[in-house]
Amino acid sequence: MLCGALIFYIISSFFRPTPSYNAFAAEPIFLLAGPLVLWQFLKGNRIGAMRNSPGAGLAAALLLLGAVSTLLAEDPVEAWNRLQLYYACALLSVGVYLACRDNVSPVVVTFLLAIALVHAWFLAELMSSIYAWEGRRFVPQGVATNYFAHIRHFGYLGFLAACASTSVTLLSERRFLRWIGFVLGVLAVYGLIQFGSRGAFLAWLVFAALLFAIVPAKRHFVLSCVVTVSLASLAVQYVDTSHPFPNKHQQSVFTRQSVGWDHLESTRVRIDLWQASLLQIIKRPVLGHGPDGYVLSRCCPKGTVQPHNSLIQFMFEFGILGTGIALAALGVFLWRPLKLLRISLARGQPDITLGILVSLPASLLVFSMVDGLLYHAVPLLNFSIMMGLLGAAASWRRDDIFEVA
């Protein structure tokens, strides 16, 4: 629940410009992660075998490379502000791993429920704000949560909430919690459709497809997803016809799809951003331009703070060397969870918790290839917590989970 409170605080503190906000977000993350790691060490809960794994060495090399890239950046002070967010999220991921590896399942349900509840709060606040300003040309953007309601930022949170809610429905043994997860899932998907978050909605479908492939025995999960989409779509249709929203950032998926130029324009802009970014990466291909290099290089159109592709963003910041180390570390990290999943499926005992913890960051990474959401503090924070939980779920303490008595 502490992580849920942290997410709520960071969202409610949202302000522009985004790079400054991202730097601000590092402080509360450090305030939670530092004491958490220290407390685990005082309890004698050390990193242990994780320290001797190749992934740990690669992660340490990446952290060191980040410091070097920061020193060589166009503006080391601004780059350091960005690097602090990376370090804070990495520290929190380690803290979550240490705190949860003894018994991760209850923590996963609590964390997922917290994400969905936080989203429901802001969805309710956004809807009440819109109705209060109905008939105006633009919904005012002066309030922090109102700007967070921008299609992109609200879509990130809505995607996470939709995945989390449907996961709670699947994981919970108590019927009451399953119903809560289902209702929150309908609200989350409603928010995605109502506010035109096409990419987030498709990413949620990717999550559902991944989980269905990993845990094929849970057919009712797919059924709940279909019902969720149907109910959310009906709700959007009703709201669209009875209370049309005038804000240009608050058009439903149906409205955006009916305007052909919107999709073509969005695709063209992304391709232009990627081309401009790659041309700039070539100028410093090995170590990159340092954290927040996209903004500091001033290479690309004003009004954009990242290239809408997390892989290109990482190459921009840390070069080919840093990107290669990061991909190698991710591969080493995922090897054990995927191995455990394969064993569980082969023995007919699918580990649902592990399946969810693999599908969540995987679908988030897919989404980040077209929207670059890992640049922003809230998705990056959630990703770091997910990776800590995934590491805990696949830790050495679970070696005997599939042994036959």
Q: What is the pLDDT of residues 334-387, one digit of tens each?
A: 888 888 888 877 777 777 888 889 999 999 999 999 888 888 888 999 999 999
Residue 41: what are its φ and ψ, rounded to 5°? -70, -40
Q: pTM to 2 decimals?
A: 0.87
Q: What is the pLDDT of residues 126-158, one digit of tens each?
A: 777 766 655 554 444 444 445 565 656 778 888
Residue 363 is predicted with a pLDDT of 92
Burial of 377 (C-beta count, 10 Å sphere; 0-12/13-18/19+)? buried
Residue 132 is predicted with a pLDDT of 64
Please list, in sequence order, all residues whose beta carbon lies within 8 angstroms of the beta carbon of residue 216, skipping any fewer than 6 positions away.
350
Q: Are 212 and 147 a contacting pair, CB within 8 Å?
A: no
- Residue ranges of the domains in the chain? 1-100+275-398, 106-258
Report the alpha-carbon distance of residue 134 to residue 251 in Å, rounded.
14
**Tally of residues, the chain:** 405
73: left (phi > 0), else alpha (psi -120 to 50), else beta? beta
pLDDT tens series, the chain, 405 aa: 677 888 888 887 776 677 777 778 888 999 999 998 888 888 877 665 455 555 677 888 888 888 898 898 888 888 898 899 999 999 999 899 888 887 787 888 889 999 999 888 888 877 777 666 555 544 444 444 455 656 567 788 889 999 998 888 888 878 888 888 888 888 888 888 877 778 888 898 899 888 888 777 666 666 777 777 777 777 766 766 666 554 444 565 556 555 554 555 567 778 888 888 888 889 888 888 889 888 888 777 777 888 889 999 999 999 999 999 989 888 888 888 888 888 877 777 777 888 889 999 999 999 999 888 888 888 999 999 999 999 888 875 444 444 433
Cα distances from 76 to residues 191, 253, 298, 299, in angstroms, run 39, 41, 15, 17
